[in-house]
Structure 1
């Protein structure tokens, strides 16, 4: 039997303040995880509030449903779907939902996924090189490191991990797999550490950036985000809000630039009327107290934007 799904929702108070859930409102959580954010949003939207939830991980859906029911929320108040958040508009329309009052995207991986060795996300506990958010489909991290050409692998590690030594790491991976395929997280972490040396110049583990790069590539995370943002805007009612929590600069940059592009921020030359009004001029970050309670909140950044009221009639 698999261990219980656990995940501490980051920036929970800030998310509630951002989305301002109201009784009878309709909300969409595109990244359910363990259901912590969803529970708080749906409770604040009672009576008569509704929530549409998505997650690529079947285990997360089971955990979220159990959590919402245990909280005493009416079963008819939420609908949960096994789907990536890049399908949020399709899933909403499939459920007969044309517009919502708020949308949350909490990017990255959950504590449960990181702490479960069998999922292969972390180098701290040995496990298979998997890294799929949806373990039911798609290539694994092992497939990438054992099959990609050296130059393609190096470019992937550089682009998604911002790892300057990507070519050296890719060269070592290719040399190793000629002898035997890389199959476990411990094998890959040790190989990267050898390739980079253990000089102690950085506080993070030498394999951190490589693991991040592979995880992003396996799950097409940045492509998913770029596809989801415009869909989210079209689903928002006038005055509805979109809240996005990111955990590394690549995600945050995409969100920041998209918000600016569709808000006309800074006198943009875009001839179309603005679709969003940026609420957070700077991202909201976790307080020292929250980081002390949940160290993984340290890198979280929340950006919030509101759907402009005057633009909907002009579409």
Structure 2
């Protein structure tokens, strides 16, 4: 979780109530020890070099679990914490304050694709030593039914990570052309029956607009053949994922955010990204991978100056949580982690 939880239970959407998810479980950050292991060398190296600003940008602050752990582990560290959800920011602010660490944290209400301008405005050097993205839906969003993220409970079709801005899922379902709904379900939900679902939506909304999740869940189930409903959990999960991604422009924001974050990493600075579905992971990999290879033509025997890789991967491929970590925090099950380090300045 961020304390993030896009690793949704396939039958509930991760949408358990606060009573069903104990408070201590809601506050367990995903792969927190591994995140520290990966980011700590960059933080320690900057501290040893006498840097006056040793900065982590927690681009998806959530309830502040990763930030708290890293602040407690590294006394010289300061954090710029970004989140689009005012409720999550308020919870994080309270937790950080109770821990006596507020003087080392700046909290920013924003979407993480503004990371570049936020660093420029808050960090004197314009460079940071560490960046963390823990993508997906946070616990505070999933665990409160009225936010409309979970398909296991009837709730308003909202799904906005920032409830103060943007369109709702109901607006998407009730106003988008059928062809556009088909595209969203197919691209963002990888839904095989996208066209059938979209046609049914258009037919039903003409009778009565969609306002809550239960009616949409039933429509999705009715639109999918019985044989396809027998496996893979709740058949509505792909539709809800697709709508959430559209409402919050999650993939667009990620496309913009990762290159900007990389640009603002100092040499020896590190980035860690945790994603919870293949679409996110693919974007992260494609943004970083070209920077980890030489630009020298393969037929030349020596490296051309200025053509060396800018980054190196810190782990091979993506890393999944261990069984022990999943047992401690079931919402971590689908997490995949990638990490890289800047090894030289950007190409001139």
TM-score exceeds 0.5: yes
Q: Give the equivalent residue in structure 1 for 2:35.
A: 15
The Cα shift of 1:274 comes to: 2.3
The Cα shift of 1:166 comes to: 0.1
Residue correspondence of structure 1 range 1-315 to structure 2 within 5 A: 6-20=26-40, 21-22=43-44, 25-46=54-75, 48-73=76-101, 75-97=102-124, 98-199=126-227, 200-264=229-293, 273-309=308-344, 311-312=345-346, 314-315=347-348
Q: CA RMSD in A?
A: 2.0
The 2-side partners of 1:171 and 1:7 are apart by: 40
Q: Provide Cα deviations, 1:249-287, integer angstroms capped at 9, x if missing partner.
A: 000111112221121179898x95422111111211111
Q: Provide Cα deviations, 1:204-249, integer angstroms capped at 9, x if missing partner.
A: 2010100000000111101111101111111111000000000000
Conservation of the 8 A alpha-carbon contact between 1:106 and 1:245: yes
The Cα shift of 1:173 comes to: 0.5
SS at match of 1:242: strand
Conservation of the 8 A alpha-carbon contact between 2:60 and 2:135: yes
Q: Give the equivalent residue in structure 1 for 2:12.
A: none
The Cα shift of 1:131 comes to: 0.5
Contiguous gaps of at least 5 residues in structure 2: 1-17, 48-52, 299-305
Conservation of the 8 A alpha-carbon contact between 2:149 and 2:244: yes
Conservation of the 8 A alpha-carbon contact between 1:86 and 1:227: yes
Deviates more, 1:17-26 or 1:179-188: 17-26
Residues 1:275 and 1:109: Cα distance change in structure 2 (over 3 Å): same
Equivalent residue pairs, number: 308
The 2-side partners of 1:100 and 1:178 are apart by: 52
The 1-side partners of 2:68 and 2:219 are apart by: 42
The 1-side partners of 2:240 and 2:144 are apart by: 15
The Cα shift of 1:25 comes to: 2.4
Structure 1 stretches of 4+ with a deviation exceeding 6 A read 265-269
Contiguous gaps of at least 5 residues in structure 1: none
SS at match of 1:306: strand
Residues 1:285 and 1:150: Cα distance change in structure 2 (over 3 Å): same
SS at match of 1:31: coil
The Cα shift of 1:104 comes to: 0.1
The 1-side partners of 2:296 and 2:240 are apart by: 39
SS at match of 2:340: strand
The 2-side partners of 1:182 and 1:262 are apart by: 45
The 1-side partners of 2:89 and 2:211 are apart by: 28
The alignment's TM-score, normalised by the length of structure 1, stands at: 0.93
